[in-house]
């Protein structure tokens, strides 16, 4: 029986009223206690904790393999998994696969679910990830978790759990089972995981790395993986931010503090603009200012202390998750610095696979004269920058790397051969629905919604198009040559994926 909307509203209200009343009552009685998301560090050292250089290297010692995974809800989780499965089909000498040789996986939002679980369970976790997360309706538990009397009390009234805890709880229940970054240290194998959230106040990326957590005098090893993934995917308004406490300054920090890799990016007062770091390298200067504020923490006598860092969906600052890998490739500010390793000649080959599940859904707003309402405006103001930030990013990345490497050669002709060899042995692959030649098929993939629940047919289509786009990328042949890999069987074709997305539309 169809229920009229008003009657439905009344029934829902009748169901929720006791919870709402109880919730407000408890809220009035309780104080303001918030969950403690991160713990202070007892010791700060690059020689302990979750660090790239402390993990067992992969077999391809002179080849750096980076995979980045964008945001986009379950669509992004599925596309990232599909591409990893495609890499798993590339067989290498010695019986290993390219998926086992991934050195770094950097991700945002929906892509972080797959990246996090891949770092946690490796290729053995592919089936569980697909079964327990990607093919499940994640919206029901998230909505029902809050839209019931107990949920209303728990998430809106009783101090402690916040709305983001719905997602944290769900991720723990389905995938991570309360594991922390310590589990990745214990696993002692790459890929090195970089989950990217965004500092909602500063609007800059916040990668969950120990070097970043050092600035807050906090221990990454004790942070639950589900919490970091949820921070990376905390879509504004719908979910609350993950708030980290800044324990800085603390006794564990060594002098000089802040460390030189932070203060190096600050201009001393009075620096002429022309000689300033901001003028020469605005990205370094902007991050330097924010990281210096993290490192100073609570400074007596100042009113701009950064005592807490509020983290939202990383897509606000970088929806592809490429910011931190690019920083590693072009500066000595990040840990690890791949630029240092390239300079040493340790890295001679580079495979960079950027998975972009960007949405380009048509909007009904464009078919109506009516002035968009507040919710429409709010969603547009959040979504537009996220989607725009990802368009053409792979091409920008290629241009940035080309430019950076060309300038290094210019500065030091002695490095010419090193960087020319690297350029000849670089495969930059961009997995993007935009690469689908058939416009109707492309439109249908773009129309798959950003949600934590996709239909079986939608998941089937995304799982097919991932390896199809990998295999059809012009740089895929370079990739195979660089790693000496062969396919165990042909990858699915884009045409097959298009047939599946047709089914999803029916």
Partner 1 sequence: MPTFVSVRVIHPELRDIYLNSDYTISAGKSPADTFSVPTGRTTFATIDDDDCVDFEAPLVVTSQDAGKLLTIILAPVIPPRPI
Residues forming contacts to partner 1 in the complex (CB under 8 A) are 46-47, 51, 53, 254-255, 259-261, 263-265, 274-275, 277, 279-281, 283-285, 330-333, 335-337, 339-341, 343-344, 400, 403-404, 407-408, 410-412, 414-415
Q: Helix 225-232 to helix 164-171 angle, to the nearest 10 degrees?
A: 130
Q: Residues for the chain: how many in total?
A: 506
Q: Which CB atom, from 6 or from 344, has the smaller least distance to partner 1?
A: 344
Q: Shortest Cβ distance from residue 158 to partner 1 (Å)?
A: 44
- H helix and E strand count, the chain: 22, 10
From residue 192, alpha-carbon distances to 103, 179, 211, 302 in Å are 6, 16, 13, 37
**b/e sequence 428-457, b meaning 16+ C-beta within 10 Å:** bbbbbbbbbeeeebbbbbbbbebebbbeee
Q: Which CB atom, from 46 or from 186, has the smaller least distance to partner 1?
A: 46
Q: Which CB atom, from 152 or from 342, has the smaller least distance to partner 1?
A: 342
Hunting for tokens 């509203």 — which residue is that?
9
Q: Shortest Cβ distance from residue 212 to partner 1 (Å)?
A: 14
Q: Shortest Cβ distance from residue 250 to partner 1 (Å)?
A: 17
Q: Which CB atom, from 266 or from 504, has the smaller least distance to partner 1?
A: 266
Q: Which CB atom, from 263 or from 457, has the smaller least distance to partner 1?
A: 263
Hunting for tokens 């606000």 — which residue is that?
316
Q: Which CB atom, from 211 or from 306, has the smaller least distance to partner 1?
A: 211
Residue 76, number of CB atoms within 10 A of its CB = 30
Q: Shortest Cβ distance from residue 375 to partner 1 (Å)?
A: 39
Q: Shortest Cβ distance from residue 264 to partner 1 (Å)?
A: 4
CA 180 vs. chain centroid, Å, equals: 17
d(C-alpha 310, C-alpha 443), whole Å? 36
**Both tokens of residue 368?**
């109506």
Q: Which CB atom, from 163 or from 341, has the smaller least distance to partner 1?
A: 341
Nearest to residue 86, comparing CAs of 396, 481, 497, 469? 469
39: exposed, middle or buried (C-beta count within 10 Å: 0-12, 13-18, 19+)?
middle
Q: Shortest Cβ distance from residue 51 to partner 1 (Å)?
A: 7
Residue 337, number of CB atoms within 10 A of its CB = 18
Q: Shortest Cβ distance from residue 211 to partner 1 (Å)?
A: 9
From residue 465, alpha-carbon distances to 78, 86, 307, 498 in Å are 10, 10, 45, 8
**Both tokens of residue 404?**
């950076």
Nearest to residue 165, comparing CAs of 174, 177, 155? 155
Q: Shortest Cβ distance from residue 406 to partner 1 (Å)?
A: 9
CA 244 vs. chain centroid, Å, equals: 17
Q: Which CB atom, from 256 or from 490, has the smaller least distance to partner 1?
A: 256
d(C-alpha 261, C-alpha 92), whole Å? 38
Q: Which CB atom, from 74 or from 331, has the smaller least distance to partner 1?
A: 331
Hunting for tokens 């547009």 — which residue is that?
380
Q: Which CB atom, from 148 or from 263, has the smaller least distance to partner 1?
A: 263
**Both tokens of residue 227?**
């919490």
CA angle, 487 as apex, 481 and 493 as ends, to 5°? 110
- The answer to whether the bond into 316 is cis (omega within 30° of 0) is no
Q: Shortest Cβ distance from residue 47 to partner 1 (Å)?
A: 7
**Both tokens of residue 388?**
């725009």
Q: Shortest Cβ distance from residue 17 to partner 1 (Å)?
A: 58
Q: Shortest Cβ distance from residue 325 to partner 1 (Å)?
A: 15
Q: Which CB atom, from 38 or from 330, has the smaller least distance to partner 1?
A: 330
Residues 124/97, Cβ–Cβ less than 8 Å: no
Q: Which CB atom, from 89 or from 284, has the smaller least distance to partner 1?
A: 284
Nearest to residue 163, comparing CAs of 98, 234, 214? 234
Q: Shortest Cβ distance from residue 321 to partner 1 (Å)?
A: 20
């Amino acid at each position: 029986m169809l229920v009229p909307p008003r009657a439905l509203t009344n029934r829902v209200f009748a169901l929720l009223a006791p919870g709402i009343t109880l919730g407000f009552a408890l809220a009035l009685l309780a104080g303001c206690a918030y969950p403690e998301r991160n713990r202070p560090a007892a010791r700060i050292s690059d020689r302990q904790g979750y660090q790239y250089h402390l993990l067992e290297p992969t077999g391809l010692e002179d080849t750096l393999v980076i995979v980045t995974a964008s945001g986009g809800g379950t669509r992004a989780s599925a596309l990232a998994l599909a591409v990893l499965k495609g890499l798993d089909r590339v067989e290498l000498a010695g019986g290993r696969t390219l998926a086992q040789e991934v050195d770094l996986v950097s991700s945002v939002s929906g892509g972080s679910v797959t990246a996090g679980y891949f770092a946690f369970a490796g290729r053995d976790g592919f089936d569980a990830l697909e079964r327990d997360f990607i093919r499940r309706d994640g919206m029901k538990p998230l909505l029902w978790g809050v839209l019931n009397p107990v949920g209303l009390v728990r998430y809106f009234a009783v101090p402690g759990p916040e709305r983001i805890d719905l997602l944290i709880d769900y991720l723990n229940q389905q995938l991570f089972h309360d594991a922390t970054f310590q589990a990745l240290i214990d696993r002692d194998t790459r890929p090195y995981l970089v989950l990217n959230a965004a500092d909602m106040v500063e609007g800059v990326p916040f990668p969950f790395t120990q070097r970043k957590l050092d600035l807050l005098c906090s221990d990454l090893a004790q942070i639950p993986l589900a919490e970091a993934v949820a921070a990376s995917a905390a879509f504004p308004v719908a979910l609350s931010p993950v708030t980290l406490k800044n324990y800085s300054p603390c006794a564990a920090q060594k002098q000089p503090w802040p460390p030189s890799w932070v203060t190096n990016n600050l201009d001393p007062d009075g620096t002429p603009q022309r000689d300033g770091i901001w003028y020469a390298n605005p990205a370094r200067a902007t991050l330097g200012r924010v990281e210096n504020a993290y490192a100073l923490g609570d400074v007596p006598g100042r009113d701009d202390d950064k005592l807490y860092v509020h983290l939202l969906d990383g897509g606000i600052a970088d929806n592809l998750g490429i910011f931190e890998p690019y920083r590693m490739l072009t500066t000595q500010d990040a840990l690890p610095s791949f630029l240092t390793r390239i300079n040493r000649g340790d890295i001679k080959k580079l495979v960079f696979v950027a998975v972009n599940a960007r949405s380009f859904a048509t909007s009904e707003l464009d078919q109506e004269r009516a002035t968009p309402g507040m919710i429409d405006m709010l969603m547009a103001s959040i979504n537009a920058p996220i989607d725009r930030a990802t368009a053409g990013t792979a091409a920008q990345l290629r241009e940035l790397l080309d430019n950076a490497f060309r300038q290094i050669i210019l500065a030091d002709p002695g490095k010419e051969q090193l960087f020319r060899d690297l350029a000849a042995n670089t495969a930059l692959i961009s997995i993007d629905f935009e690469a689908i030649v058939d416009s109707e098929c492309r439109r249908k993939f773009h129309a798959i919604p950003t949600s934590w629940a996709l239909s079986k047919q939608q998941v089937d289509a995304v799982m097919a198009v991932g390896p199809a786009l990998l295999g059809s990328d012009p740089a895929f042949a370079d990739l195979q040559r660089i790693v000496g890999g062969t396919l165990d069987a042909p990858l699915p074709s884009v045409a097959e994926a298009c047939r599946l997305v047709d089914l999803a539309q029916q």
